[in-house]
Each structure stands twice: as structure tokens, then as C-alpha cells.
Amino acid sequence: MSSILVFCSVQDHRIKRSSLEAMSRARHVAHENGVPIEAVILGSDASALVSEAAQYGASCVYTISNPLLDAHLNAPVISALDAVLKQVQPRMLVAASTEAVKDVLGALAVRSNAAVLPDVASFEWSGDTVSCQRPVMAAKKMAATSTHHPLVFVSVRSGSYEATEAPADGQEVAVPFEFDTASLGITLREIVSQAGDTVDLSEARVVVAAGRGVRDDAGRQLVQELADITGAAIGASRAVVETGLFPATAQIGQTGKVVSPDLYFAVGISGAVQHTAGMANSRIIVAINKDPDAPIFDVATYGLVGDCFTILPLLNAALREALA
Ligand SMILES: Cc1cc2nc3c(=O)[nH]c(=O)nc-3n(C[C@H](O)[C@H](O)[C@H](O)COP(=O)(O)OP(=O)(O)OC[C@H]3O[C@@H](n4cnc5c(N)ncnc54)[C@H](O)[C@@H]3O)c2cc1C
């Protein structure tokens, strides 16, 4: 019987939250179509994460425990997923739309002759049709796309679904895997991670994002303080990335990262569509802006109209006290 196979992305010895969200949706779709939900985990941690995948509904978890798959090299990952697909022959492969997944999905689809529905906000499967909705034109419009292809890959935008537990057996099946490293042609020498105790932006539950209104080092420090108090990751608009006040890795939006935290602070950000394309899925949005007509207030849950250099010290002090 065909199944829905979910590719679980791993970070810091855990399955990424966005993968668990994709798995939760895949579980519902699998139930509706009377097929099992299965998972695939790659990397040296693979076996240790089987129980976490089972907690979210995987009846069977295919693992390839090979440290080569930790190294962010596309060729071994494509080869490993291809091996699992050949063994499992699922109806669909569902994954979170992470940077690494975006890197491999097209090549994997060519190799396995699959149709791809990338970066979707929702998906369904009914009869012989898999359909989805994808944000297009800086998320101003949703495009409906469908396919009848017998094998479909779907990558799901983070925050599109809630991650919900539904414990299942989670029987581990170790898949044999061989890869000739001589064929790689490149060597990974070092993974340079961001210095300090920073929270990963795309997985963060709270994000504090700064825009041009934050202006300078003093503003950046106020933003950092709010992030420290709330345990947030720091994001930024393109305007302050271009001035060099924040790193390019912090950019949120159409040409930056897509985030979907529970709580998003937009500080001194106007709310251009290219920015909101990357954060409008956030559950609660608190906007601080001195212009009452700033478009960010159209998507905000709470709006604080005023100068962020006045508001942030007050907010930081109040939150520090409340959370003490
Ligand atoms: C193809 C393309 C792709 C793009 N991709 C992205 C993207 O991925 N991400 C992105 O962010 N942008 C992107 N942009 C740029 C985008 O169009 C906007 O220019 C950018 O988001 C504006 O950033 P901002 O809101 O920080 O700055 P501004 O538009 O200059 O807004 C600053 C805001 O701060 C407020 N403000 C000023 N001083 C204070 C103060 N003291 N206290 C409180 N509020 C204050 C102002 O009222 C204003 O609303 C893209 C543009 C293009 C053309």
C-alpha cells in the first residue's frame, strides 16, 4: 500500500519544528485517504530521533545513520532520499520548506521522476489529485496548483500548520546506503555557525525584528535587550541589512527568511509587502511605529504608535518585571 512519507529535517539533535508541522498535516491527509504515515530521518542522529517522529504519528521510520549526511552536502542527501523512495514507493514525499530542502528537492524530483509542489501554504490529496495553495507575488495572491502525477513532492512553508502529537508505533527500518565520497569533488572543511548564544530565526517562537526606525547602535541595543528578555531571535528588514546594522542572515521577507513565530515584534518597520511576505503568518504581531498610517498596522495584532526609542525602554522594563 502506498503511504505518505515525511522527510524530517534535523537541527541540534532534534527534528525541526517545521518538519513536525508538515508531518501533522501529512498525518491528517493520510488518514483521509486511508494510507499510513511514515517518516525518513538522515544523519548520525537518525536512530535517536525515531521516537520523536513516532510521537507525531509515524508508524514506520526509515533511517540512514551516516555522518556524511550531517555535512550539508546535497549529493549524498539526494542519493539517500532516492534510496528510501525506491524502497518505500510512497504516493507523496512531504517536507518542510527549509533552505536545505529547497536545495535538493528539484534534483531529487528529476532523479525519481516526481512532480513537485514547492513552498506551499496548504495541500490536499483527493482521488488521484494532489493540490495546493502557494503564495505568489510577494504573498499578495495565492495560486492554486494541482497534479495527477503518481509521485508528488510537497514542501510546506513553516507555520502553515500546527504541530500536534498523535503517538504511533514508529518501527525503525534501517535502510542500506552506500556513497562513493570520491565522486563528491568537494570537501566540507568546516561549518561556521553564528557566534554566541543566538536563537535560530526560522524555528524561533518569538522574533524581534528591526527596521530603519531602529536607526543606530543604541536602537540595536534596545532591540537586543527585548530579544534577551523574551528569548527571541533577532530579525531585520532589508533596509537595515543594507546599511550593515544587521547581518544578511537576519533578513525577513520575500528575499530573506520566512518566519512564523507565536510572537513577532516589528520595531520601526514600515510593513512593505516584500517584508510582510516573510512574517504575516506569525500568530501575534506587535508593531511599534511612530507613523499611525504605517502599513505594518494592517497586519498587526497590537499596535504601539510612537517613537521606539521611547517605547522600547518602557516595554523592556515592564517585561523584565513581569517575566522575573
Ligand atoms: C525585489 C525586492 C525584494 C525585497 N525583499 C525584501 C525582503 O526580503 N525583506 C524586506 O524587509 N524588504 C525587502 N524589500 C524592501 C522593501 O520594499 C522595503 O524597502 C523595506 O522592507 C523597508 O524596510 P523598513 O520598513 O525597515 O524601512 P522604511 O520603509 O524606511 O520604514 C521605516 C519605518 O520606521 C518608522 N520609524 C522611523 N523612525 C522611527 C522611530 N524612531 N520609532 C518608531 N518608528 C520609526 C517609519 O515610520 C517607517 O514606517 C525588497 C524590495 C524589492 C524591490
Reported as a single tens digit per residue, the pLDDT across 143-164 is 999 999 999 999 999 889 999 9
Say what the pLDDT of residue 264 is. 98
Is 188 a domain residue?
no
Is 195 a domain residue?
no
**Gap between the Cα atoms of 51 and 13, Å rounded:** 13
Domain check: are 179 and 208 in the same one? no
Domain check: are 205 and 172 in the same one? no
Please tell me the distance between residue 279's alpha carbon and the centre of ligand 1 in angstroms: 13
113 confidence band (pLDDT: 50, 70, 90): very high
Q: Which residue has the cell 545513520?
A: 65
Domain check: are 174 and 217 in the same one? no
Q: Which residue has the higher pLDDT, 292 or 255?
A: 292
Ligand 1, residues at Cβ distance < 6 Å: 211-213, 237-240, 251-256, 268-270, 272, 274-275, 278, 288-291, 294, 307-309
Q: Report strand pairing: 115-120 vs 122-126.
A: unpaired
CATH number for the domain that contains residue 299: 3.40.50.1220
**How confident is the model over 20-33, as a mean pLDDT?**
98
Closest Cα to atom 39 of ligand 1: 213
Is 84 a domain residue?
yes
Say what the pLDDT of residue 188 is. 78
Is the pLDDT assigned to residue 171 strictly greater than 60?
yes
Angle of helix 74-88 relative to helix 99-112, nearest 10 degrees, comes to 50
Please tell me the distance between residue 200's alpha carbon and the centre of ligand 1 in angstroms: 22
Give 185-207 pLDDT, tens digit per residue: 887 788 776 655 466 788 899 99
Final residue before a domain boundary, out of 183, 218, 240? 183
CATH number for the domain that contains residue 79: 3.40.50.620
Is 266 a domain residue?
yes
**Gap between the Cα atoms of 90 and 130, Å rounded:** 13
Is 51 a domain residue?
yes
Q: Which domain holds residue 314?
A: 201-323
Please tell me the distance between residue 289's alpha carbon and the centre of ligand 1 in angstroms: 11
Domain check: are 138 and 37 in the same one? yes
> How many domains does the structure of the chain reveal?
2
Say what the pLDDT of residue 12 is. 84
Is 302 a domain residue?
yes
Q: Which residue has the higher pLDDT, 201 or 102?
A: 102
174 confidence band (pLDDT: 50, 70, 90): very high
Is 189 a domain residue?
no
Domain check: are 112 and 155 in the same one? yes
| 191 torsion bin: left (phi>0), alpha (psi -120 to 50), beta (else) | beta
Say what the pLDDT of residue 245 is. 97
Say what the pLDDT of residue 196 is. 53
For a ligand 1 pocket test, name from 202, 238, 243 the mutation site with the most ligand atoms within 8 angstroms of its C-beta: 238
**How confident is the model over 48-75, as a mean pLDDT?**
95
Closest Cα to atom 48 of ligand 1: 270
Is the pLDDT assigned to residue 247 strictly greater than 90?
yes
Give this prediction's pTM: 0.85
Say what the pLDDT of residue 194 is. 62
Say what the pLDDT of residue 296 is. 98
Q: Which residue has the higher pLDDT, 324 or 90?
A: 90
Say what the pLDDT of residue 136 is. 87
Final residue before a domain boundary, out of 157, 183, 209? 183
**How confident is the model over 4-33, as a mean pLDDT?**
96
Q: Which residue has the cell 534596545?
A: 222
**How confident is the model over 202-222, as a mean pLDDT?**
95
Q: Which residue has the cell 548564544?
A: 197
Q: Which residue has the higher pLDDT, 33 or 140?
A: 33
User: What's the one-letter identity of residue 255?
Assistant: T
Domain check: are 246 and 133 in the same one? no
| 166 torsion bin: left (phi>0), alpha (psi -120 to 50), beta (else) | beta
Average pLDDT, the chain: 94
Say what the pLDDT of residue 185 is. 81
Domain check: are 156 and 222 in the same one? no
Say what the pLDDT of residue 97 is. 94
Domain check: are 167 and 25 in the same one? yes
Domain check: are 130 and 172 in the same one? yes
Domain check: are 147 and 209 in the same one? no
Domain check: are 99 and 240 in the same one? no
Domain check: are 234 and 164 in the same one? no
Question: What stretches of the chain adopt beta strand conformation (E)?
Answer: 4-8, 10-11, 14-15, 37-42, 60-64, 92-96, 115-120, 122-126, 129-136, 141-147, 152-156, 171-174, 206-210, 233-236, 263-267, 284-289, 302-305
Final residue before a domain boundary, out of 183, 212, 237? 183
Is the pLDDT assigned to residue 1 strictly greater than 70?
no
Is 17 a domain residue?
yes
Coil, strand or helix at 30: helix
